[in-house]
Amino acid sequence: MGGNRHGAHEKTHVRRSRSRYSFPMANIPLNGLRIGTASAGLQIEGSPQPSNWTEWAAAGTIADGTTPDPTTDHWRRWREDNELMERLEYPIARVGVEWSRVEPRPGEFDEEALARYAEEYRDLTARGIEPLVTLHHFGQPLWLERRGGWTNPEIVPLFLRYVNRVLDALGDIVTDWVTINEPNVFATEAYLFGSTPPGTGGYRAVRACLQNMAAAHLQAYELLHARLDNPTVTFAHHKRVFAPANRANPVHRALTPLVEYLFQGVVEKAFYRGVFDRVLGRPRSLPADFTPKGVYADAIAINYYSRTAVKGFDDATFPGRPTNDLGWEIYPRGIAEVSAPLAREYGLPIWITENGTADNSESFRCGFILDHLAELARLNAEPGGVRVERYYHWCFVDNWEWSEGMAQHFGVVGLDENLDRHVKPAGYMLRDLNRAGAITPEIVETYREAPAGGVDP
């Protein structure tokens, strides 16, 4: 999952997510939508190499005092996790290579780590699970962070060097790639709100970070297409719905499009088309002879979680709306509101690369998923509409949620004190949705209000 997403988000009373849908006693076809789960290397692997996050956690910045070790201990237990995904019949899985593990020292690549990733992803494909590999998901080597990280233009050729070495190891295994996860969240949380490393920098640092990430994505897109036969390459774009907190308030109405543009709109033409406006500016890390050629994505990859009530530059929620354990509003309609316009503009299919909720009591996770999938099913059913091809639920196993630590649970699989896995009702529900290819009355009846551990597998 990508950061706090709220800056200083509000902690509000937790309310159950109540569906807007009656879910009539008939199937709601998913029209070919495939369902799996998402994860990120640093959040699940354990035994990490020095990175921006190991140093940040060691300084005592994590809400529950945990660190990126052991998290779920996936680095040692990956076969168990792959086998569990196969038993649950998930056809797709978003996974990630952790840069700090692959290149722990400048220019020194860990061939054993690369071979280990190759073994894991070959095993996934052998089990009938297609891996979607993320190349940068918030983690980077500590040596690189100390050089200024993404604010330093020198990071772009270093990132491309890293991508080349990953392709040497995985290019014959992996077809689907995410270059960079949530550049807007990474930049604002790291350099503006201060909730992730390095925690300082200001607006100039945010701008430099986004410029360099855009340059890295554009060139990595070209590199992946040059080296591989017909890959699918994209970046994971975090999108939120923004609405005036009070529609009668002219300040709220005026601020809403501005806040939305500064958070997410400013990156879109840069990442999708290689076109830079005056606000973002053309990066120095882009070759002088770079000329945009078409669209630099093969699918619209969307990470969607919530809606913001705008009354200033800090996030707020609408009163009386359902929220999760982190105080984020649960707004299912938004998953279509943020995805469909981009899909139509660029003529590309939608992949929901993250969608999930913090629900430690497991009282509303299944309903949350059903409500969001119903919105995606509606898009797929519209004549001449967009194609929603994939849904990756965040996440597979309860993991280390960055500055929140291990306290917030997003997984469809839980952990006990020994890190042994147990499947939650939502994990079985995803299996049954894939089997049925539809939201069926039986699935709704079985899972909508299912308590933790209350479903017969």
Structure tokens at 154: 């020198």
Domain 32-449 fold is TIM Barrel (3.20.20)
Residue-level pLDDT at 21 = 62
Contact between residue 420 and residue 338 where contact means Cβ atoms under 8 Å apart: no
Residue-level pLDDT at 22 = 63
> Is residue 457's pLDDT more than 60?
no
Q: How far apart are CA 300 and CA 257, in angstroms?
A: 21
Contact between residue 358 and residue 324 where contact means Cβ atoms under 8 Å apart: yes
> Is residue 235's pLDDT more than 60?
yes
Tens-digit pLDDT profile for residues 78-90? 999 999 999 999 9
Residue-level pLDDT at 9 = 35
> Is residue 454's pLDDT more than 70?
no
Residue-level pLDDT at 110 = 98
What is the pLDDT confidence band of residue 54, given thresholds at 50, 70 and 90?
A: very high
Contact between residue 232 and residue 176 where contact means Cβ atoms under 8 Å apart: yes
Average the pLDDT over 323-329 and give the result: 95
Q: How far apart are CA 97 and CA 78, in angstroms?
A: 13
> Is residue 214's pLDDT more than 50?
yes
Structure tokens at 400: 């280390």
Tens-digit pLDDT profile for residues 397-445? 999 999 999 999 999 999 999 999 999 999 999 999 999 999 999 999 9
Nearest to 219 by CA among 144, 279, 166, 271: 271
Q: Is the peptide bond prior to 29 cis by the omega test (within 30 degrees of 0)?
A: no
> Is residue 111's pLDDT more than 80?
yes
Q: How far apart are CA 267 and CA 265, in angstroms?
A: 5
> Is residue 305's pLDDT more than 50?
yes
Tens-digit pLDDT profile for residues 58-80? 999 999 999 999 999 999 999 99
Contact between residue 189 and residue 132 where contact means Cβ atoms under 8 Å apart: no
Between β-strands 176-181 and 130-136, what pairing exists: parallel, antiparallel or unpaired? parallel
Give 386's contacts (C-beta < 8 A, 6+ positions apart): 339, 340, 343, 344, 349, 350, 379, 380
Residue-level pLDDT at 26 = 73
Contact between residue 353 and residue 301 where contact means Cβ atoms under 8 Å apart: yes
Average the pLDDT over 245-256 and give the result: 95
- Amino acid occupying residue 58: A
What is the pLDDT confidence band of residue 450, given thresholds at 50, 70 and 90?
A: low
Tens-digit pLDDT profile for residues 31-46? 999 999 999 999 999 9
